[in-house]
Amino acid sequence: MKNIRARKPFPVIFAGAGPGDPELITVKGMNALKKADIVIYAGSLVSKKMLAYCRKAARIHDSAPMTLPEITSLMVSGARSGKRVVRLHTGDPALYGALREQACVLEAQDVPYEIIPGVSSAFASAAALKRELTVPGVSQTVIFTRLPGKTPAPANEKLSLLSRHQATICVFLSAGMIDKTVRELKKGYPPDTPAAAVYRASWKDEVVITGHLKNIAARVKAAGISRQAMIIVGRALDGAVGECSKLYAPGFGHGFRKK
């Protein structure tokens, strides 16, 4: 008799759906959805329009009401039965996506997986503001952080400490605590520091609010925004050019252009 080997399972795909606009998923992510037999998507944040990329025969599961064991059980059983499984995360899976805890289960069960990055809401918010987060001579550092809530933060990552760098800061998942967010930021930034809040960046109902640390909290609350908003603070938002990049300076040469 011939030696019959067990079929190697398809890797579970963790794909970033992007910030909301269905066209902002990567081509690779879209192609993964087109081939998927099972799709587990974060229904509370991922646009349902994204599911139009899926085959009609695909089994779709909304993970919003599910627990971690329920989600990973679907992944493991699907992969072991020879199905193509896609776990669709909002934004990029590597940022506040509970990626590691899911991947650890797959590793323990010897189920292969791959990760397809996505567009973060931080970058979609910068695009909505028509601003660059890094400006020569103004800010060359971007900090991604959040206020501690149900998920704690290490003591050395307090927003008040991070604000002392006066870099560009993108504060995730903190719009519902806007007063505390601003209070902590003011411990490092002056009150006239440019600030913005972008609600549901790239969605049809996107709202952009701009101001300064001294008034951004009042403007956010006046707009009735308490969730799904990116808060960005830093001098890079004021639109000043600062120093021009050396990359395109006429007197600067490099490997692709002589002086």
Residue 241, pLDDT score = 66
pLDDT at position 7: 63
**pLDDT attached to residue 140:** 93
CA atoms within 13 A on the CB side of 207: 14
| Nearest one of 72, 84, 74 to 108, comparing CA atoms | 72
How far from 5 is each of 8, 109, 178, 236, CA to CA, in Å?
Answer: 9, 19, 57, 58
- What residues have CB less than 8 Å from 132, skipping those under 6 apart? 126, 236
Between CA 69 and CA 227 the distance in angstroms is 27
Which has the closest alpha carbon to 86: 155, 121, 161, 34?
34
Q: What count of other Cβ atoms lies within 10 Å of the Cβ of residue 114?
A: 12
Length of the chain: 259
| H-type alpha helices, the chain | 27-35, 68-80, 99-108, 121-129, 159-162, 178-185, 216-222
| Domains of the chain (ranges, CATH numbers) | 12-116 (3.40.1010.10), 121-238 (3.30.950.10)
Helices and strands, counts by H and E, the chain? 7, 10
Q: CB atoms < 10 A from the CB of 180, how many?
A: 13
* Structure tokens given for 117: 């990055």
Distance CA 38, CA 217 (A): 42
Residue whose entry in the numeric block shows the structure tokens 């506040």:
96
> Which candidate, 119, 127, 120, 126, places its Cα nearest to that of 30?
119
Q: What is the pLDDT of residue 1?
A: 41
Report long-range pairs for 204-209 (Cβ below 8 Å, ≥24 apart): 206/128, 208/128, 208/129
> What are the per-10-residue average pLDDT scores of the chain (259 residues)?
59 97 97 98 92 96 96 96 96 93 96 97 97 93 92 89 96 94 96 97 96 97 95 92 72 71
> Residue 251 carries which side chain, given as an amino acid letter?
G
Given this model, what pLDDT does residue 4 score? 44
> What is the pTM (predicted TM-score) of this model?
0.89
> Can you tell me the distance from the alpha carbon of 258 to that of 47, in angstroms, rounded to the nearest whole number?
47
